Amino acid sequence: MKKKIICQTVVLLLSTFFLRAQGTALKDSMAWLCGICGGSCDTLVFAKPGNCPHCGMELIHQSVAVRKELIENYNKHMTICFYLQDGVEVLDFAGPMEVFAYAGFHVFTVSRTKAPIVTQGILKIMPDYSIEDAPPADIMAFFGGNTGPSSKDSAVLSWIRKRKTSTSYFFSVCTGAFIIGKAGVLDNLTATTFHASIESLRKALPGTKVLSDTRFVDNGNVITTAGISAGIDGALHLVAKLNGEETAREVAKYMEYDKWIPGQGLVVQKK
């Protein structure tokens, strides 16, 4: 992650230099902004030079308009791995997929093998990769629907564990929490899942505090959501977290999704 942050800072500086060299008209005022680190501080504006109090990166004197364009370009290179198992719930992954795609993130699909999977016995999907050849991703996402086999598959769980240190965020919808939970991602954290599976998750993960009646739970870099449509709320929350609430609202409006209420879930405060 440190190498990635350094590379993004270099890109920011070079991009700003070339835009100025080409005589780009900067219609808004210059401001002090931190280098793009993928955190919520990417959209904050500071009145004077120094270091970002949130991520510690050195502030850059830059146009807010240029910054917005660079964040959009950065997000296009931000990758999200959607792990899909046979029998996966369609809306569990399709809703968040639309959110992240509209926000400009790069989404790819992975399954146990490259063989076609069938969602709910209806829709056939060809995964982009198997767990053997899937590239690394900034975000790994898991979804409900027939999660039993995957949550007990040692190869799948080992694959997730190996990626814990190189993945910035883990995201689950519905009973997808069982998969990442069995891989140890939810150890000593707070989580939620599909309303009918709350007690089952509590029994399966005794070291995890499982909440009911909660749209999503954000532990910082691990976000779990309730079932089906709640995944859209969780995805919008993650977009807001990474790219600002205004961007998330634009995505929700574009999707004509008027049910999203920012802050409706639980953000766990670190002690």
Element at 251 (helix H, strand E): helix 245-254
Give the three-state DSSP class for 149.
helix
Token code pair at residue 210: 């499982």
In the block, residue with structure tokens 């005589």: 23
* Burial degree of 160 (CB within 10 A; 0-12, 13-18, 19+): buried
Active-site residue 174, yes or no? Answer: yes
Nearest to 194 by CA among 163, 234, 161: 234
Q: Which of 178, 177, 214, 212 is nearest to 196 (CA)?
A: 212
Gap between the Cα atoms of 198 and 248, Å rounded: 28
Residue 73 tokens read as 């370009």
The DSSP bridge partners found for residue 223 are 171, 218
Q: By the 8 A CB rule, do 40 and 54 touch?
A: yes
Task: Identify the active-site residue in 37, 41, 81, 174.
Answer: 174
Secondary structure of residue 224 in the 3-state scheme: strand
Angle between helix 230-243 and 245-254 (nearest 10): 140
3-state SS, residue 32: strand
Per-residue tokens: 209: 């505090």
Cite the active site residues: 174
